[in-house]
Structure 1
Amino acid sequence: MAAPPPIPPRPNEAAPPIPPRPGDAAPHPPPSPGHPAHPPAYPPVVVGRLIADGTEAKSGVLVRGVKWQASGILEEGANLPGQDVRIRRPLTIHLGPSGSCIDGKGRQRTEILSWPPTAAGETWLYKWNFHLGPSIPSSSKFFHMTQLFSREQGGFVVALGLVNGKIKISSQLPPLIGPDGAPVPQPEVPVERYWGRTTYHRMVVRWGPGGSVDYTVQDAATLEPLLQYRVADVHVPAGGSVKCGLYRAHVCSAAQAVVGDFDFVRR
């Protein structure tokens, strides 16, 4: 006997969802409220004073102790439409799609950095706020938003980046070892927990032999902890700066971020 036909939905009542069949692709979740479904358009509508226009790589001094370098557009103010940016002294970074905003190494880079470079034996406290625009594709190539950079080493020491849909810590310092004798994995969170919100960054660094790094990232409004990285009694190569912004080797789309409230102090 044939099965009876399904009961139609009542008026103004939605029909139940059709269950997926084996082999069907999982449906994509809807975008979060206030988050665009696609990366930003480029070029943007600039609303603040232009510091860099994105036509060539430039650099300059923001204030005493803070410099900037930009291959993309850098403007004063918070220019992320639809985003609740909680930064009192903001700068907005805009990077374009592939083929645009390229520096001398063929990469896209717009960063704010501490200056002058540090010396071995110095201890510095770095604080800033950061808001990554949502819906930015990523790849396996590096896409740094924070770099603890060493000129003595000629590269980053610790970095925070977007890789394959995750916000991850990368480190060139000796790894922490767990109770089982294996290296402890570096901290990471899904990018959906990071973008579209203002994050508060605090990093304390003792440079040189017997050095240390203590880096925490929190939600700026709720102080919810998102990431923490700590290492002590290691050599932290000096000649250093902290860099915060957008720096990437592979371009999937345009990207935007707001950064500001810089407080870089030697202890």
Structure 2
Amino acid sequence: MLVPFTSLLALASLVVAAPLEKRSKVLASGNGMKSGAISKTLSWQSSGKLIQGGCPSTVKISSCYQVLLNSAGNLASRSLSDDSIFADSDDSHHQTTLSDAYYAETSPFLAPAEIGGPEYEEMTVEVEDSSALVKRASARQRIEMYSMPLAASGSTWTFTWKSYLSTGTSTSGTFFHLFQLLRRDGNGGYILSLGAVNGKAVVQDSIRGCSSCASIPISSFTGKTVSHTLKVKFGSSGTLSYKAVDSASKKTLLSYSAKGQMGSSASLKAGAYRAVTSGMSAVKAYVGDFAFKKS
């Protein structure tokens, strides 16, 4: 039986109009620590459930990732060792040694880069971590997207991304990083972080010893899409400026700037990374629209 041409057109229009946010791919299931790469400039590590796509349209993050942690389990009791380029960081500081071979290998990608375009999903690679993992001393959960290549001393980078943390997410007095600017230049640890701590969204600067550089009640930060802009000149005489803006109202929620030591061999890590505490809630968050530019 022949199908009327007008019916075919109607069907085609339905296919074209299908919302992109309904397409999704599970990168990590939450059954163990895994890591992988989305592209040459964006990688990930996850002990919880990490899903590429499928975010609610109300979140308004175009290239979006679902960040899902249970109230128990999803433990990152093992993660990549400190001498790898994927070394982790928490409330303690780690030392990392990077070989000249790594810089030689990545040097072609040091030109300004933005994440996006049709190759964004096609380059997705999942990597199972096994013998490379080492045991960590304390219980924590983590899902983080992070920038590559590492930022060298003297270079200036602008990192932009969006995030959404669901209302009702619990906080405590222990660390819960929503993003970290992580250095791996021999001193280790984060340069700057945004934490969900003791009922507040808090900007913390570990180099300048500022545990609450700027803060707002966590209720003023959750339940909304937040646009982040972080511009950093790395090195011993560096500069840093950070701003978090409510994407809908354009109201500035948090801002911070600093001068001095900014470290090197650094990258941005965004998602949810927290210590395991009694009575903590599950985490449902969204991150995406990452862009990293070297100037």
TM-score normalised by L of structure 1 = 0.75
Of 126, 133, 147, the residue aligned with 1:114 is: 147
The Cα of 1:48 is off from its aligned counterpart by 2.3
Once residues 52 and 188 of structure 1 are traced to their aligned partners in structure 2, the CA distance between those partners, rounded to angstroms, is: 32
Deviations 1:173-210 (A, max 9, x none): 326xxxxxxx8951000011110000000000111121
Change (3 A) 1:167 1:213: same
Whether 1:169 and 2:197 are equivalent positions in the alignment is no
Whether 1:101 and 2:129 are equivalent positions in the alignment is no
The Cα of 1:117 is off from its aligned counterpart by 1.2
Once residues 179 and 229 of structure 2 are traced to their aligned partners in structure 1, the CA distance between those partners, rounded to angstroms, is: 11
Question: Can you give the 5+ residue segments of structure 1 that lack an aligned partner in the other structure?
Answer: 1-45, 176-182
Aligned residue for 2:219? 192
CA RMSD of aligned residues (A): 1.9
Aligned residue for 1:260? 288
Change (3 A) 1:102 1:184: closer
Question: Computing the radius of gyration over CA atoms, which structure comes out larger, 1 or 2?
Answer: 1
Once residues 78 and 253 of structure 1 are traced to their aligned partners in structure 2, the CA distance between those partners, rounded to angstroms, is: 22
**Number of residue pairs aligned between Structure 1 and Structure 2:** 212
The Cα of 1:88 is off from its aligned counterpart by 0.8
TM-score normalised by L of structure 2 = 0.68
Whether 1:84 and 2:58 are equivalent positions in the alignment is yes
Once residues 62 and 158 of structure 2 are traced to their aligned partners in structure 1, the CA distance between those partners, rounded to angstroms, is: 19
Once residues 211 and 170 of structure 2 are traced to their aligned partners in structure 1, the CA distance between those partners, rounded to angstroms, is: 27
Structure 2: which amino acid aligns with 1:143? F
Change (3 A) 1:68 1:185: closer
Aligned structure 1 segments of 4 or more residues deviating by more than 3 angstroms: none
The Cα of 1:47 is off from its aligned counterpart by 7.5
Aligned residue for 2:29? 53
Correspondence list, 1:191-230, <5 A: 191-230=218-257
Aligned residue for 2:103? none
Aligned residue for 1:17? none
The Cα of 1:101 is off from its aligned counterpart by 3.5
Contact 1:142 1:250 in 2 (8 A): no
Question: Can you give the 5+ residue segments of structure 2 that lack an aligned partner in the other structure?
Answer: 1-21, 79-135
Once residues 62 and 69 of structure 1 are traced to their aligned partners in structure 2, the CA distance between those partners, rounded to angstroms, is: 11
Structure 2: which amino acid aligns with 1:84? T
Contact 1:84 1:197 in 2 (8 A): no
Aligned residue for 1:20? none
Change (3 A) 1:174 1:197: same
The Cα of 1:266 is off from its aligned counterpart by 0.9
Structure 2: which amino acid aligns with 1:191? I
Once residues 250 and 193 of structure 1 are traced to their aligned partners in structure 2, the CA distance between those partners, rounded to angstroms, is: 24
Deviations 1:100-136 (A, max 9, x none): 3334133101000001111110100000000001101
**Percentage of matched positions with identical amino acids:** 33
Structure 2: which amino acid aligns with 1:171? D
Q: Compare the two structures and name the one with the higher helix fraction.
A: 2
Deviations 1:213-245 (A, max 9, x none): 10100001221000001002x011111001100
Contact 2:204 2:212 in 1 (8 A): no
Once residues 125 and 249 of structure 1 are traced to their aligned partners in structure 2, the CA distance between those partners, rounded to angstroms, is: 29
